[in-house]
Amino acid sequence: MRNILLFFSVYGLCLGAELPNSTFAPPTPQEEAQNQQTGHDLRIKKFFLDIPKNKDLAKEAIEKDKESREILDRFDDVIINSKPEIRAISSQDSILIHPYFTTTILLPQGSEISYVDSSGESEVIKFDQNALMFRPKKSFEIANLSILYSRDKQNYVMNILLNRYHRGKDNQLNLIVSYVDKPKLSPLEVLYTYFKENGEYPNNEFSYIKIDDIYYRIVLDDKNGYVNIGNKKYRVDNRKPY
Protein backbone atom coordinates (compact mmCIF):
# COMPACT_ATOMS: atom_id res chain seq x y z
CA MET A 1 0.00 0.00 0.00
CA ARG A 2 2.87 2.32 0.85
CA ASN A 3 4.57 1.57 -2.45
CA ILE A 4 1.42 2.37 -4.39
CA LEU A 5 1.06 5.76 -2.69
CA LEU A 6 4.70 6.54 -3.46
CA PHE A 7 4.17 5.76 -7.17
CA PHE A 8 1.17 8.10 -7.52
CA SER A 9 3.01 10.85 -5.65
CA VAL A 10 5.94 10.72 -8.05
CA TYR A 11 3.56 10.59 -11.09
CA GLY A 12 1.71 13.64 -9.83
CA LEU A 13 4.96 15.56 -9.48
CA CYS A 14 5.84 14.75 -13.07
CA LEU A 15 2.48 15.95 -14.31
CA GLY A 16 2.72 19.12 -12.32
CA ALA A 17 6.27 19.91 -13.33
CA GLU A 18 6.65 22.87 -15.68
CA LEU A 19 8.17 21.99 -19.06
CA PRO A 20 10.21 24.52 -21.01
CA ASN A 21 8.05 26.93 -23.04
CA SER A 22 9.97 26.08 -26.22
CA THR A 23 8.77 22.44 -26.17
CA PHE A 24 5.38 23.24 -27.78
CA ALA A 25 6.18 26.64 -29.30
CA PRO A 26 5.45 27.05 -33.09
CA PRO A 27 8.50 27.22 -35.38
CA THR A 28 9.97 30.63 -36.04
CA PRO A 29 10.07 32.02 -39.65
CA GLN A 30 13.81 31.29 -39.72
CA GLU A 31 13.17 27.64 -38.77
CA GLU A 32 10.43 27.29 -41.41
CA ALA A 33 12.74 28.67 -44.10
CA GLN A 34 15.49 26.30 -43.01
CA ASN A 35 13.12 23.31 -43.17
CA GLN A 36 11.92 24.28 -46.64
CA GLN A 37 15.49 24.65 -47.87
CA THR A 38 16.43 21.29 -46.36
CA GLY A 39 13.50 19.61 -48.12
CA HIS A 40 14.41 21.32 -51.40
CA ASP A 41 18.03 20.17 -51.07
CA LEU A 42 16.89 16.61 -50.39
CA ARG A 43 14.69 16.60 -53.51
CA ILE A 44 17.58 17.87 -55.65
CA LYS A 45 19.91 15.26 -54.17
CA LYS A 46 17.37 12.51 -54.83
CA PHE A 47 16.95 13.70 -58.44
CA PHE A 48 20.67 13.44 -59.14
CA LEU A 49 20.93 10.11 -57.33
CA ASP A 50 18.13 8.70 -59.51
CA ILE A 51 19.77 9.78 -62.79
CA PRO A 52 22.22 6.81 -62.99
CA LYS A 53 19.34 4.41 -62.45
CA ASN A 54 17.43 5.83 -65.41
CA LYS A 55 20.30 6.95 -67.65
CA ASP A 56 19.18 4.72 -70.51
CA LEU A 57 15.63 6.05 -70.33
CA ALA A 58 16.88 9.63 -70.14
CA LYS A 59 19.21 9.08 -73.08
CA GLU A 60 16.37 7.63 -75.15
CA ALA A 61 14.10 10.58 -74.30
CA ILE A 62 16.83 13.06 -75.24
CA GLU A 63 17.45 11.29 -78.56
CA LYS A 64 13.72 11.29 -79.39
CA ASP A 65 13.44 14.97 -78.52
CA LYS A 66 16.47 15.75 -80.68
CA GLU A 67 15.02 13.80 -83.59
CA SER A 68 11.65 15.54 -83.25
CA ARG A 69 13.36 18.94 -83.26
CA GLU A 70 15.34 17.99 -86.37
CA ILE A 71 12.16 16.96 -88.16
CA LEU A 72 10.44 20.24 -87.27
CA ASP A 73 13.50 22.26 -88.26
CA ARG A 74 14.15 20.51 -91.56
CA PHE A 75 10.66 19.78 -92.86
CA ASP A 76 7.35 21.56 -93.09
CA ASP A 77 4.22 21.52 -95.24
CA VAL A 78 5.84 23.78 -97.81
CA ILE A 79 8.50 21.27 -98.89
CA ILE A 80 6.62 17.98 -98.37
CA ASN A 81 4.34 16.92 -101.20
CA SER A 82 1.85 14.25 -100.15
CA LYS A 83 -0.03 14.34 -103.46
CA PRO A 84 0.97 11.72 -106.06
CA GLU A 85 3.64 12.75 -108.51
CA ILE A 86 2.65 11.26 -111.87
CA ARG A 87 5.39 9.66 -113.95
CA ALA A 88 5.48 7.54 -117.08
CA ILE A 89 6.38 3.91 -116.42
CA SER A 90 9.86 2.85 -117.53
CA SER A 91 12.43 0.21 -116.68
CA GLN A 92 14.67 2.75 -114.92
CA ASP A 93 14.01 5.81 -112.81
CA SER A 94 15.35 7.79 -109.84
CA ILE A 95 13.54 9.01 -106.72
CA LEU A 96 14.51 11.23 -103.81
CA ILE A 97 13.58 9.80 -100.40
CA HIS A 98 14.34 10.52 -96.74
CA PRO A 99 14.58 8.13 -93.76
CA TYR A 100 12.13 10.24 -91.72
CA PHE A 101 9.32 9.38 -94.14
CA THR A 102 7.81 6.34 -95.85
CA THR A 103 7.71 6.64 -99.63
CA THR A 104 4.86 4.96 -101.51
CA ILE A 105 5.38 3.76 -105.08
CA LEU A 106 2.32 2.93 -107.18
CA LEU A 107 2.72 0.95 -110.40
CA PRO A 108 0.09 1.18 -113.17
CA GLN A 109 -3.30 -0.33 -112.36
CA GLY A 110 -3.40 -4.04 -113.04
CA SER A 111 0.23 -4.55 -112.03
CA GLU A 112 1.09 -7.23 -109.49
CA ILE A 113 4.35 -6.92 -107.55
CA SER A 114 5.88 -10.31 -106.76
CA TYR A 115 9.35 -9.44 -105.44
CA VAL A 116 11.26 -6.39 -104.19
CA ASP A 117 14.95 -6.13 -103.35
CA SER A 118 16.94 -3.19 -101.99
CA SER A 119 20.71 -2.80 -102.03
CA GLY A 120 20.46 -0.81 -98.79
CA GLU A 121 19.03 -1.63 -95.38
CA SER A 122 15.42 -0.64 -94.79
CA GLU A 123 13.14 0.05 -91.84
CA VAL A 124 10.01 -0.62 -93.91
CA ILE A 125 9.65 -2.58 -97.15
CA LYS A 126 6.13 -3.83 -97.86
CA PHE A 127 4.20 -4.46 -101.05
CA ASP A 128 0.72 -5.54 -102.05
CA GLN A 129 -0.67 -5.76 -105.59
CA ASN A 130 0.63 -2.61 -107.33
CA ALA A 131 1.66 -0.67 -104.19
CA LEU A 132 5.06 -0.59 -102.53
CA MET A 133 5.97 1.17 -99.26
CA PHE A 134 9.61 1.83 -98.46
CA ARG A 135 11.53 3.63 -95.70
CA PRO A 136 15.31 3.31 -95.39
CA LYS A 137 17.55 3.24 -92.34
CA LYS A 138 18.61 6.55 -90.82
CA SER A 139 22.12 6.21 -92.28
CA PHE A 140 20.76 5.98 -95.83
CA GLU A 141 22.44 7.95 -98.62
CA ILE A 142 21.98 5.98 -101.84
CA ALA A 143 20.58 2.59 -102.85
CA ASN A 144 19.03 0.65 -105.73
CA LEU A 145 15.51 -0.75 -105.60
CA SER A 146 14.61 -3.64 -107.91
CA ILE A 147 10.94 -4.44 -108.44
CA LEU A 148 9.71 -7.56 -110.19
CA TYR A 149 6.10 -7.28 -111.32
CA SER A 150 3.67 -8.63 -113.89
CA ARG A 151 0.99 -6.97 -116.00
CA ASP A 152 -1.16 -8.43 -118.78
CA LYS A 153 0.55 -11.81 -118.28
CA GLN A 154 3.96 -10.25 -118.95
CA ASN A 155 6.83 -10.02 -116.45
CA TYR A 156 8.76 -6.77 -115.96
CA VAL A 157 11.67 -5.54 -113.89
CA MET A 158 11.96 -1.94 -112.75
CA ASN A 159 15.14 -0.51 -111.25
CA ILE A 160 14.86 2.68 -109.22
CA LEU A 161 17.89 4.61 -108.02
CA LEU A 162 17.15 6.01 -104.56
CA ASN A 163 18.97 9.12 -103.37
CA ARG A 164 18.72 10.93 -100.05
CA TYR A 165 16.71 14.14 -100.14
CA HIS A 166 18.54 17.28 -98.98
CA ARG A 167 16.59 20.39 -98.10
CA GLY A 168 17.83 23.50 -99.87
CA LYS A 169 19.46 21.44 -102.58
CA ASP A 170 16.45 19.55 -103.94
CA ASN A 171 12.84 20.40 -104.75
CA GLN A 172 9.92 19.16 -102.70
CA LEU A 173 10.09 15.72 -101.18
CA ASN A 174 7.46 13.56 -102.88
CA LEU A 175 5.94 10.95 -100.57
CA ILE A 176 3.90 9.26 -103.33
CA VAL A 177 5.15 8.45 -106.83
CA SER A 178 2.48 7.08 -109.16
CA TYR A 179 3.47 5.51 -112.48
CA VAL A 180 1.06 5.48 -115.40
CA ASP A 181 1.05 3.35 -118.52
CA LYS A 182 2.17 6.07 -120.88
CA PRO A 183 5.33 6.31 -122.96
CA LYS A 184 8.12 8.30 -121.39
CA LEU A 185 9.34 10.96 -123.79
CA SER A 186 13.02 11.28 -124.54
CA PRO A 187 14.80 14.53 -123.60
CA LEU A 188 14.86 15.58 -127.26
CA GLU A 189 11.10 15.03 -127.57
CA VAL A 190 10.50 17.09 -124.43
CA LEU A 191 12.67 19.94 -125.68
CA TYR A 192 11.04 19.88 -129.12
CA THR A 193 7.56 19.98 -127.56
CA TYR A 194 8.64 22.93 -125.42
CA PHE A 195 9.92 24.70 -128.55
CA LYS A 196 6.63 24.11 -130.40
CA GLU A 197 4.59 25.53 -127.50
CA ASN A 198 6.81 28.50 -126.68
CA GLY A 199 8.55 29.35 -129.94
CA GLU A 200 11.99 29.10 -128.39
CA TYR A 201 14.13 26.79 -126.27
CA PRO A 202 14.37 27.38 -122.51
CA ASN A 203 16.52 30.27 -121.34
CA ASN A 204 15.98 29.91 -117.58
CA GLU A 205 17.89 27.58 -115.29
CA PHE A 206 14.68 25.62 -114.60
CA SER A 207 11.74 25.35 -117.01
CA TYR A 208 8.70 23.10 -116.79
CA ILE A 209 6.29 21.56 -119.25
CA LYS A 210 3.31 19.26 -118.76
CA ILE A 211 2.79 16.61 -121.45
CA ASP A 212 -0.03 14.03 -121.15
CA ASP A 213 -0.51 14.87 -117.43
CA ILE A 214 3.20 14.27 -116.76
CA TYR A 215 5.51 17.07 -115.67
CA TYR A 216 8.99 17.37 -117.09
CA ARG A 217 11.68 19.70 -115.80
CA ILE A 218 14.20 21.10 -118.26
CA VAL A 219 17.44 22.19 -116.62
CA LEU A 220 19.90 24.53 -118.32
CA ASP A 221 23.14 22.91 -117.19
CA ASP A 222 26.43 23.71 -118.93
CA LYS A 223 28.31 21.26 -116.71
CA ASN A 224 26.13 18.13 -116.66
CA GLY A 225 23.79 18.73 -119.57
CA TYR A 226 23.67 15.96 -122.20
CA VAL A 227 21.51 17.58 -124.90
CA ASN A 228 23.29 20.23 -126.94
CA ILE A 229 21.21 22.85 -128.74
CA GLY A 230 23.20 25.75 -130.13
CA ASN A 231 25.62 26.83 -127.44
CA LYS A 232 23.43 25.55 -124.56
CA LYS A 233 23.34 22.23 -122.71
CA TYR A 234 20.16 20.79 -121.19
CA ARG A 235 19.10 17.84 -119.10
CA VAL A 236 15.53 16.65 -118.49
CA ASP A 237 13.96 14.92 -115.47
CA ASN A 238 10.57 14.42 -113.84
CA ARG A 239 10.09 17.28 -111.42
CA LYS A 240 6.99 19.34 -110.78
CA PRO A 241 7.08 23.14 -110.40
CA TYR A 242 6.53 24.33 -106.79
Q: What is the DSSP string of 185-216?
A: PPHHHHHHHHHHHHSS---SSEEEEEETTEEE
Return the higher-pLDDT residue of 119 and 29: 119
Domains delineated in the chain = 80-180 (2.60.40.10), 187-237 (no CATH)
187 band by pLDDT with thresholds 50, 70 and 90: very high
Q: Per-residue pLDDT for 12 more than 90?
A: no
Assess whether pLDDT exceeds 70 at residue 26.
Answer: no
C-beta atoms surrounding 134 within 10 Å:
22
pLDDT per residue over 47-65, tens digit each? Answer: 556 655 556 666 666 666 6
